[in-house]
């Protein structure tokens, strides 16, 4: 199983069962045989959610973030702490 984290700016357009209910997502599973667990994060809480993932060292396999680079500071901090623990 893969985990896929993405930000959603228009939740009103998602099916009730999230990305699992979208045709291309179902087709991906049938073509590859790989289960994907989607984490769809509201845009309003994306920074807090990402920071919590880093703090818990619980990053998804695939992370799709916006192009604004709001995650760079949190990621840089995480990498600095990781480097300090593993010189």
**pLDDT score at 84:** 83
Cα–Cα distance, 38 to 82 (Å, whole number)? 26
Contact yes or no for 54/74 (Cβ under 8 A): yes
Cα–Cα distance, 10 to 59 (Å, whole number)? 23
Is it the case that residue 79 has pLDDT exceeding 80?
A: no
CA atoms within 13 A on the CB side of 3: 9
Element holding 4 (H helix, E strand): strand 2-8
Cα–Cα distance, 21 to 81 (Å, whole number)? 39
Domain extents in the chain: 2-85
Q: Among all chains, which residue has been given the structure tokens 């939740």? A: 11
Write the pLDDT tens digit of every residue in 30-58.
899 998 888 888 888 888 888 888 888 78
């Amino acid at each position: 199983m893969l985990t896929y984290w993405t930000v959603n700016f228009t939740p009103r357009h998602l099916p009730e069962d999230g990305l699992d209910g979208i045709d291309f997502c179902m087709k991906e599973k049938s073509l590859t045989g790989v289960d994907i667990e989607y984490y769809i994060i509201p845009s309003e809480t994306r920074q807090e959610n990402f920071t919590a993932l880093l703090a818990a060292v619980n990053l998804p396999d695939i992370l799709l973030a916006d192009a604004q680079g709001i995650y760079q500071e949190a990621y840089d901090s995480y990498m600095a702490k990781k480097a300090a623990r593993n010189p």
